[in-house]
Amino acid sequence: MSTLIAALQANLTRVRERIAAAARAGGRDPSAIALVAVSKTFGAAHVLAAAKLGVRAFGENYVQEALLKIAQMRQAAPELSCQWHLIGPLQSNKTRAAAQTFDWVQTVDRLKIAERLSAQRPPHLPPLNVLIQVNISGEASKSGVTPAEVASLAHAVAALPRLQLRGLMAIPAPAAEAGARRAPFARLRALFEDLRAQGLPLDTLSMGMSEDLEEAIAEGATMVRVGTAIFGARAADTSPPLAADR
């Protein structure tokens, strides 16, 4: 076994144990929580190794970076059919590539972007799964709609023919203390339950990352997005994204 696969296997086992323990602590079935492995900045070799260990959903922040990796993966291992999630901000000049390539876009926060994704989703593909990103901590610098805007955007997105609105996603402001971490997750869950009570058939609450997946699962996450705890620290995190994504 390669050292890469061995290292990933240890990390993955640990992450899966954390998810299972958090689910059990909340009286939930661990299989009800989907794991999206965030592979941004890591190459296709890392994705392939994780896929060989059973990971089938990958999260990418930049369309351009993902296109190359997805193509490499399809060539290297066409038998491993992976699901690709866009989890970074989407500019309107990248919607066509995103609609053609991804299975999920988790960062919809404007109707114009949703309309473009729906219009540009190729007819031979199933509807694109989308989540609405909510700026749950009210940070000036963050993407996402405000909690007050969620319902009107959700109903408009749900009406688009080539999108399947699945739920909500958020990245709360970092908090050192576990109690403070739970509050924004609880707020996102309340918004999610409100939308379901309004008749939207939503099933996905994407919240929780390497540092806070336990708190997110305690508050009802059905999908966690985990990068560092699986692939290790991202050396390239401090450098700007590929020019093509600007």
Residues near ligand PLP, by CB under 6 A: 38, 40, 61, 87-88, 171, 209-211, 225-229
| Nearby residues of 226 by Cβ (< 8 Å), 6 or more positions away | 15, 35, 36, 37, 38, 208, 209, 210, 213
Nearer to ligand PLP, 162 or 219 (CB): 219
Q: How far apart are CA 46 and CA 4, in angstroms?
A: 7
How far apart, in whole angstroms, are the C-alpha atoms of residue 195 and residue 167?
9
- Minimum CB–partner distance for residue 79 and ligand PLP (Å): 27
Nearer to ligand PLP, 13 or 152 (CB): 13
Do 19 and 210 contact (CB within 8 A), yes or no? Answer: no
Nearer to ligand PLP, 162 or 216 (CB): 216
* Residue, CB closest to ligand PLP: 227
DSSP one-letter code for 134: B
Helices (H), the chain: 3-25, 44-52, 63-76, 95-101, 111-120, 150-158, 178-197, 213-218, 228-231
Distance in Å, CB of 231 to ligand PLP, minimum: 8
Minimum CB separation from ligand PLP for residue 143, in Å?
Answer: 9
How far is 182 from 203, CA to CA, in rounded Å?
20
Provide the minimum distance between the beta carbon of 98 and ligand PLP in the complex, in angstroms, as a whole number: 15
Q: Minimum distance from CB of 191 to ligand PLP (Å)?
A: 18
Give whichever of 120 and 210 is closer to ligand PLP, judged by the CB atom.
210
Cβ closest to ligand PLP, residue 162 vs residue 217: 217
